[in-house]
């Protein structure tokens, strides 16, 4: 039995329970310790080929480890950010209650997202992602405003319908497996992948389409993305960072598990075509919306839709280098989007608004987080030397070696339009002169530290990823059928 998997699943849950009754400072310290412990244990799993626990019910292979590292990293960075950000106004007892509730919810949310890549099987995976929906919906409504409540309600309705479709996909895949295993069988990944070639092709195709549509709702793929801009905009900033950097990635992970079975049952062409259709639609719509946003957090929300489109398009290419780029993009997007939301939180606290028409002179007002927010936006726009530039370069390189190389050109055009939208935001809000009377200074050293963590990770991923991480990405790509 591997104790590290058990600790990853118990530490955030235990800290979440403790945060309900602990004093605020203790809740913050426990959250930070839990985030650091989870990240360290996730990194220790990187060199291992496969780790199991509880008689195989918990299992981490290379593909799982990639997403677990992304979740754990953002959990740690968000814990640092939240200590400096969460300072609710009002009566002291109510303020302390709000803070404890938010930290308890953040830990529970991190626990549920870490559970998704650790459990072994499509049924358990569905349960884990369903749990993330319930917890994250409550977190979206934490601020108790009319807008937040409406966003949470919209999120619950759309995500529940999507997960209902995903449950149907799981049932259909179970039915497909019964042709090889008999009446009753487990939905463990190794057994499904090993016997996939004996599954009825048409049934597997149906299961995959349902999975992409169902889990694509949580991932933010067009046209089932409509909950995402509202939820990301109205949620507290720490929650927005975890939603965008972790939750969307975990939903993509669920699609990849169905992809593994489908690719071996019917060949790679069909699942790639399905992902291509959703990816192009997501990239195109997000690129257009990015050019017209006025709300700071909605801007980054649509940027998330764009990057989910990039992931889907990258998986549609046949070259192994493109799949490696997709997996690297998962990690780089978590670091970049988390850092961008941290910077947005600093700006909102400083200027008291998310309306970009009322934000001017960000760098002058925020001497540290202002420039770092600009760097995070440049990272999201795939500028070198950051990780997203490297990942998108690998994806485009794989696309150019694909027979459908015109799709790579579409990808480049969509990413360029998105870059222009993000650059317009940067120039208007951060690089303009500060208004008279603006008080120069940071709101918290904790926020500065969280952004430093994100930018350092983003630079490492772009300049020279560690050798063991590169090996992990190659092994994970091999598990997805991408072999040289």
Query: Mean pLDDT over residues 391-395, rounded?
Result: 95
Complete DSSP assignment for 142-180: TT--HHHHHHHHHHHHHHHHHHHHHHHHHHHHHHHHHHH
Distance CA 175, CA 115 (A): 25
Cβ atoms of 385 and 463 within 8 Å: the answer is yes
* 1: pLDDT strictly greater than 70: no
Token pair for 420: 């222009």
pLDDT at 484: 59
Query: Mean pLDDT over residues 172-193, rounded?
Result: 86
pLDDT in tens, 434-472: 777 777 888 889 999 999 999 999 999 999 999 999 999
Residue 424 CB contacts under 8 Å (≥ 6 apart), including other chains: 291
pLDDT higher at 86 or 320 = 320
pLDDT at 307: 95
* 91: pLDDT strictly greater than 60: no
* 321: pLDDT strictly greater than 60: yes
Query: Mean pLDDT over residues 177-206, rounded?
Result: 88
For residue 319, the 8-state DSSP code is S
pLDDT at 404: 76
pTM tops 0.85: yes
Residue 111 CB contacts under 8 Å (≥ 6 apart), including other chains: 9, 12, 13, 16
For residue 244, the 8-state DSSP code is I
> Under DSSP, is residue 355 helix (H, G, I), strand (E, B) or coil?
strand
Distance CA 413, CA 410 (A): 5
* 145: pLDDT strictly greater than 90: no
pLDDT in tens, 342-376: 999 999 888 888 878 788 888 888 889 999 999 99
Mean pLDDT over the full length of the chain: 91
User: If 0-12 CB within 10 Å is exposed, 13-18 middle and 19+ buried, where does residue 337 land?
Assistant: buried
Cβ atoms of 313 and 375 within 8 Å: the answer is no
Give whole-number Cα distances, 11 to 18, 77, 85, in Å: 11, 17, 23
* 88: pLDDT strictly greater than 60: no
pLDDT at 94: 59
Instruction: Name which of 386, 373, 298, 381 is nearest 340 in CA terms.
Output: 373
Cβ atoms of 373 and 458 within 8 Å: the answer is no
Query: Mean pLDDT over residues 396-419, rounded?
Result: 89
Cβ atoms within 10 Å of 188's Cβ, excluding its own: 18
pLDDT at 438: 74
Confidence tier at 164 by pLDDT (50, 70, 90): very high
* 325: pLDDT strictly greater than 70: yes
For residue 196, the 8-state DSSP code is G
pLDDT higher at 232 or 32 = 32
């Amino acid at each position: 039995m591997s104790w590290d998997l058990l600790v990853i699943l118990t530490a955030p849950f235990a800290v979440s329970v403790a945060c309900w009754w602990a004093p605020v400072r203790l809740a913050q310290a426990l959250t930070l310790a839990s985030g650091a412990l989870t990240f360290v244990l996730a990194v220790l799993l990187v060199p291992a080929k496969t780790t199991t626990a509880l008689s195989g019910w918990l299992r981490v292979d290379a593909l799982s480890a990639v997403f677990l590292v992304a979740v754990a990293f953002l959990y740690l960075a968000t814990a640092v950010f939240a200590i400096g950000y969460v300072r609710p106004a009002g009566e002291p007892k109510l303020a302390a209650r709000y803070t404890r509730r938010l930290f308890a919810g953040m830990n529970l949310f991190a626990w549920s997202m870490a559970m998704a890549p650790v459990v072994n099987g499509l049924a358990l995976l569905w349960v884990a992602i369903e749990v993330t929906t319930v917890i994250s919906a409550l977190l979206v409504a934490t601020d108790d405003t009319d807008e937040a409540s409406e966003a949470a309600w919209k999120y619950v309705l759309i995500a529940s319908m999507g997960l209902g479709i995903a449950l149907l996909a799981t049932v259909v895949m179970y039915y497909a497996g019964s042709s090889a295993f008999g009446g009753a069988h487990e939905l463990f990944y190794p057994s499904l992948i090993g016997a996939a070639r004996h599954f009825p092709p048409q049934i597997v195709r149906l299961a995959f389409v349902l999975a992409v549509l169902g889990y694509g709702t949580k991932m933010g793929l067009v046209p089932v993305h409509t909950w995402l801009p509202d939820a990301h905009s109205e949620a507290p900033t720490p929650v927005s960072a975890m939603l965008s950097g972790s939750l969307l990635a975990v939903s993509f992970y669920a699609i990849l598990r169905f992809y593994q079975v489908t690719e071996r049952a019917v060949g790679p062409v069909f699942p790639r075509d399905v992902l291509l259709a959703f990816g192009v639609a997501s990239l195109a719509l997000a690129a257009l919306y990015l050019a017209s946003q006025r709300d700071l957090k909605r801007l980054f929300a649509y940027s998330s839709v764009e990057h989910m489109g990039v992931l889907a398009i990258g998986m549609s290419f046949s070259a192994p280098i493109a799949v490696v780029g997709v997996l690297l993009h998962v990690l780089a997007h978590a670091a970049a989007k988390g850092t961008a939301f941290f910077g947005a939180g600093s700006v909102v606290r400083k200027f008291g608004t998310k309306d970009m028409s009322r934000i001017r002179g960000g760098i002058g007002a925020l001497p540290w987080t202002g420039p770092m927010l600009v760097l995070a936006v440049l990272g999201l726009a795939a500028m070198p030397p950051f990780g997203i530039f490297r990942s998108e370069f690998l994806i485009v390189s794989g696309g150019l070696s694909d027979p459908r190389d015109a799709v790579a050109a579409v990808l480049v055009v969509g990413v360029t339009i998105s870059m222009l939208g993000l650059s317009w935001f940067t120039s208007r809000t951060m690089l303009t002169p500060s208004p008279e009377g603006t008080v120069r200074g940071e709101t918290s050293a904790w926020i500065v530290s969280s952004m430093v963590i994100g930018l350092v990770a983003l630079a490492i991923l772009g300049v020279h990823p560690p050798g063991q991480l590169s090996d992990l990405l190659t092994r994970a790509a091999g598990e997805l059928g991408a072999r040289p």
